[in-house]
Amino acid sequence: MSDQQLLIIDDDATFARVLARALGSRGFEVITASNADEARALTRRHQPRYCVLDLKLGDENGLRLIPELQALVPEIRVLLLTGYASIATAVEAIKRGAHDYLSKPVDADAVVRALLDGDTSTGDDELVDAPEAPLALRRLEWEHIQRVLTECDGNISETARRLGMHRRTLQRKLSKHPVRERPDSDD
Amino acid sequence: MSDQQLLIIDDDATFARVLARALGSRGFEVITASNADEARALTRRHQPRYCVLDLKLGDENGLRLIPELQALVPEIRVLLLTGYASIATAVEAIKRGAHDYLSKPVDADAVVRALLDGDTSTGDDELVDAPEAPLALRRLEWEHIQRVLTECDGNISETARRLGMHRRTLQRKLSKHPVRERPDSDD
DNA sequence: CGCCCCTGTGGCTATCTGCCGCAGTTTTCA
DNA sequence: TGAAAACTGCGGCAGATAGCCACAGGGGCG
């Protein structure tokens, strides 16, 4: 049923792979691109109906890509996804034709929900078994912390600064958390 | 460029008055409404080209007003303004036809800029770029809450349940102002 | 009408956060 | 290479916050 093609455009290979898996298991036929050119080529070739686009593509700006993709596939639904969200870019994205805008971290169900939201063209019983279960706040916080921590090469002081929280507080959070790592949870 | 009619819709009389003065001195012909009905009436009568709309109008939702205003004055440019800004509501606002979305507090020049800018809203040059810093934890939390809240059509109990937090806690969080995107300069 | 679910509110306690300080270790760089 | 700068771990304290309970009112429904 679900021959719904979905193009993921993200220069973060790890993230793209994880998301691809998660969405694949939810009934999408996923292809991924890691830069704008690749994205254009794949879009031309596969005419995907859905697209998950990272705002920050290397030095390129994902926003520019939105109209291009829509020119290639008029009915494409573009979901912007970014770790550096802001209201200004969200406004821009929607103005340029994005269907929705989410900030990382997200869970795959939220992505699916956003993609299918308002979509009438699918007999979407197949795709939507996505139970509406947003991340609990705690987990969202934890994942975000981990993301930034990694970005800071484990530097706690720097991470705390970027997160706008006290170093001591970060320390305490990190120390009391059950350090379970599951790099490929798609849930 | 001066006989441009501008309608301010805000139930906060003080704010509206201050803004009206500021915009008046900048060459607009300002009229103000403090609720939806008044806004509709004034729009019909004056056919303003510009509109500054508060997201929270008493118990009414400013978002609903956007399409109505546009039906009355097709070329109207609506700027959404809110003290409780979030990406989720920004996305909604733009989807419904708002031209831009700013968060209070805001200075009059920014309002003017937003109103006048963007006859070339898809003009490819003026790209906002992503913040260099990740979302602060508080901000991330706020955005996530807003998104889920939107998904739940404003149902607080339901939202709290989905987020795995106490309803009372959610209520308290919501009653507070969002965290600013830029944790620097003015307040 | 009762039933159910929503909302706003106040109060209590346990926990968390921000902030300070201190000591020891690594990194930077003149 | 030695000092300055930055990071880390930790304890403590006051004030903010969360969880939890209870109560009152609103609104839809059979």
- Higher model confidence: residue B70 or residue B133? B70
**Measured distance CA(A144)–CA(A148) in Å, rounded:** 6
The answer to whether some atom of strand D lies closer than 7 Å to the beta carbon of A120 is no
The answer to whether some atom of strand D lies closer than 7 Å to the beta carbon of A156 is yes
Q: State the pLDDT at residue B29.
A: 95
Interhelix angle for B156-163 vs B137-151, to 10°? 130
Interface test with B, best of A59, A91, A107, A161 (most B CBs within 10 A): A91
Residue with tokens 């509206």: B16
Q: For the beta carbon of residue B103, count every other beta carbon within 10 angstroms.
A: 20
The CA-based dihedral angle spanning residues B154, B156, B157, B163, taken in that order and rounded to the nearest 10 degrees: 100
| pLDDT bracket for residue B179 (50, 70, 90) | low
First to last CA, chain A: 22
Of B101, B134, B165, the CB nearest to A91: B101
Encode chain A (187 residues) as per-residue pLDDT tens digits: 446 899 999 999 999 999 999 999 999 999 999 999 999 999 999 999 999 999 988 878 899 999 999 999 999 999 999 998 999 999 999 999 999 999 999 989 999 999 998 776 554 443 333 344 556 788 899 999 999 999 999 999 999 999 999 999 999 999 987 544 333 333 3
Of B90, B133, B137, the CB nearest to A90: B90
The pTM of the full predicted model, rounded to 2 decimals, is: 0.88
Of A92, A101, A151, the CB nearest to B128: A92
Q: State the pLDDT at residue B146.
A: 94
Q: State the pLDDT at residue B18.
A: 94
Strands lying side by side in the sheet with B4-9:
B28-33, B4-9, B50-54, B77-82, B100-103
Q: State the pLDDT at residue A22.
A: 96
Q: State the pLDDT at residue B100.
A: 96
From A101, which residue of chain B is nearest by alpha-carbon distance? B91
**Measured distance CA(A184)–CA(B93) in Å, rounded:** 35
Does B180 have pLDDT greater than 90?
A: no
If residue A60 lies in a helix (H) or strand (E), which one and from where to where? strand A60-61
The burial class, CB within 10 Å (0-12 / 13-18 / 19+), for A13 is exposed
Residue with tokens 């958390």: A177
Q: With H, G, I as helix, E, B as strand and everything else as coil, classify residue B4.
A: strand
Q: How far is the CA of A36 from the C1' of C21 (A)?
A: 51
DSSP category for residue A187: -
Q: State the pLDDT at residue A184.
A: 35
The answer to whether some atom of strand C lies closer than 7 Å to the beta carbon of A168 is yes
Does B10 have pLDDT greater than 80?
A: yes
**Measured distance CA(A130)–CA(A113) in Å, rounded:** 7
- Higher model confidence: residue B117 or residue B66? B66
Mean pLDDT of chain B: 86
If residue A32 lies in a helix (H) or strand (E), which one and from where to where? strand A28-33
Cα A31 versus chain centre, distance: 14
Chain C nucleotides with an atom closer than 7 Å to a protein C-beta: 5-11, 16-21
Phi-psi region of B186 (alpha: psi -120 to 50; beta: other; left: phi over 0): beta
Q: State the pLDDT at residue A4.
A: 87
Please list every residue in chain B whose beta carbon sits closer than 8 Å to the beta carbon of residue A146. none
Size of interface A-B (CB pairs under 8 A): 111
CB contact under 8 A, A91 and B103: no
| SS percent in chain A: helix, strand, coil, step 5 | 45, 15, 40
| pLDDT bracket for residue B35 (50, 70, 90) | confident
Nearest CA among B52, B8, B12 for reference residue B33: B8
Task: Provide the CB-side half-sphere exposure for A66 (13 A, CA).
Answer: 30
DSSP category for residue B26: T
**What burial letters (b/e) apply to B120-133, b meaning 16+ CB within 10 Å?**
eeeeeeeeeebeeb
Specify whether the CB–CB gap between A36 and A60 falls below 8 A: yes
Cα Rg of chain A (Å, integer): 17
The answer to whether some atom of strand D lies closer than 7 Å to the beta carbon of B172 is yes
**Measured distance CA(B75)–CA(B57) in Å, rounded:** 23
Q: Where are the alpha helices (DSSP H) in A51-185?
A: 62-72, 87-95, 108-116, 137-151, 156-163, 167-176
Please list every residue in chain B whose beta carbon sits closer than 8 Å to the beta carbon of residue A145. 137
Q: State the pLDDT at residue B1.
A: 47
The answer to whether some atom of strand D lies closer than 7 Å to the beta carbon of B166 is yes
Does B82 have pLDDT greater than 60?
A: yes
Specify whether the CB–CB gap between A102 and A81 falls below 8 A: yes
Residue B141 phi, psi dihedral angles, 5° rounding: -60, -45
Q: State the pLDDT at residue B41.
A: 93
Q: State the pLDDT at residue B119.
A: 55
